[in-house]
Every structure is written in structure tokens, then in C-alpha cells.
Amino acid sequence: MSKKIGYGRVSSDGQDLTAQIEALKEAGCEKWFVEKVTGTSTKNRIQLMELLEYVREGDTVIVTKIDRLARSIIDLNKIVSEMNDKGVSVVFLRDNITFGAGKDNTSLNKLMFNILGSFAQFERDIIVERTSEGRERAKASGKHMGRTGQPEKKVQQALEMMANRETNGMSVADIVKLTGVPKPTIYLKIKGLNT
């Protein structure tokens, strides 16, 4: 007996799968496979691998949108083709498109499949490109992106205070409080100067 099986994915632990699961339930899925893992490739996507093992001829796999299943045209083609070869149809809810198995997979469907997959990859590439450009602009203007390090001015101030401790009578704890530079950073910098 054929089944409707859902697949949901988010990229990180901070994201929530609830909306996807609700959409899969509404679409009539009896079972679903969900995971929190990056979708740049199928590697490490355990739930996707289990889904591919689980599905049988006549089943329909339902996914909320294309980029939940794959983020590159190569992966998308590989995954959907593997399912279609098994006699399994793939439905993307938000994209309102079905890639049927066998005779249901028309030339127009194949064309749409490649176009949509290309757009999904194009969109992701643009996001990556914009992020990289933003990072470069931030670097050029002296801003730091990502995990913040200590401002070089403060580190230099802490090192000067450390060098003059005999005259200023300050403890390492005092210097840490005044400059905000952590003790390990101060010692690491001193060690770097002495090597």
C-alpha cells in the first residue's frame, strides 16, 4: 500500500522544524523524517539516508520546498532521480510541483525540475556572495565579524600596564578590570613578544 512520507530539514539547532512538520501533517503524511543539519550536501544527512531506504514503489515523498531537500542542482537531481527510479514521486508543497515516477515524469516536469533546482542554487550562491562581500567591507572598515576578539588598542594598553607594574603597583586582576582584556590573552601576547 502506497504511503505519503514527509521530509523536513533546518540548517542549525537554533532553527525550528515545527512549521515544516505541521505542513507535512496537513499534506497527509503518515510518517516523516526530519533533521537539523546543513543541506549543502547529502553527507551526514542520516534522516535523508533513512528516508531513501524506507520508501517503496508507489510512495510519495512530500517536502515543503526544494531547498529543504537539496541546496545544489547536482544533489537535487541525484536525490529525486534515485526516488523516481524506485517508483517514488516527490512533491514540493511551496513550489507546487510534483516529480512523478515513470510515465508521470514528463519532459516539462524534467525541465521545471532543472529550472527550480538552478534557482534554489542561484539563490543560495547569492546569499553566500553577499555574506562574503559584507565580511570584506567590514574588514576594510576595521570592523570584526564573527566571534569578537579584543581591540588591539586595549591589548596594547594592557601590555604597557603589565610592563610598568613595578611603578604603577597594579595587579594583573586590576589590569584585566581596567582594560577588559582577559588574563589568558594578556599572557598569550606576552609569550608571543618573548619568543
pLDDT tens digits, one per residue of 47-71: 999 999 999 999 999 999 988 988 7
Backbone angles phi, psi at 5, to 5 degrees: -120, 135
pLDDT tens-place values along the chain, 195 residues long? 889 999 999 887 667 889 999 999 999 999 999 998 876 656 678 999 999 999 999 999 999 998 898 877 778 888 988 998 899 999 999 988 888 876 666 677 677 767 766 776 777 777 777 777 777 777 777 665 544 566 788 888 888 888 887 777 788 888 888 888 888 888 888 877 765
Residue that has been written with the C-alpha cell 533546518 in this structure: 10
CATH of domain 4-128: 3.40.50.1390
Distance CA 34, CA 52 (A): 13
First to last CA, the chain: 72
Distance CA 170, CA 162 (A): 8
Fill in the amino acid letter for 149: G
**Cα dihedral sign, 131-119-16-81:** negative
Cell of 57: 514503489
Catalytic residues: 11
Alpha helix ranges (H) inside 66-164: 66-69, 73-85, 107-140, 152-163
Q: What is the pLDDT of residue 41?
A: 59
Beta bridge partners of 9: 35
Distance CA 65, CA 124 (A): 14
Distance CA 39, CA 12 (A): 10
Q: What is the pLDDT of residue 24?
A: 95
Q: Which of 115, 114, 112, 83 is nearest to 100 (CA)?
A: 83
Q: Where are the domains of the chain?
A: 4-128, 152-194
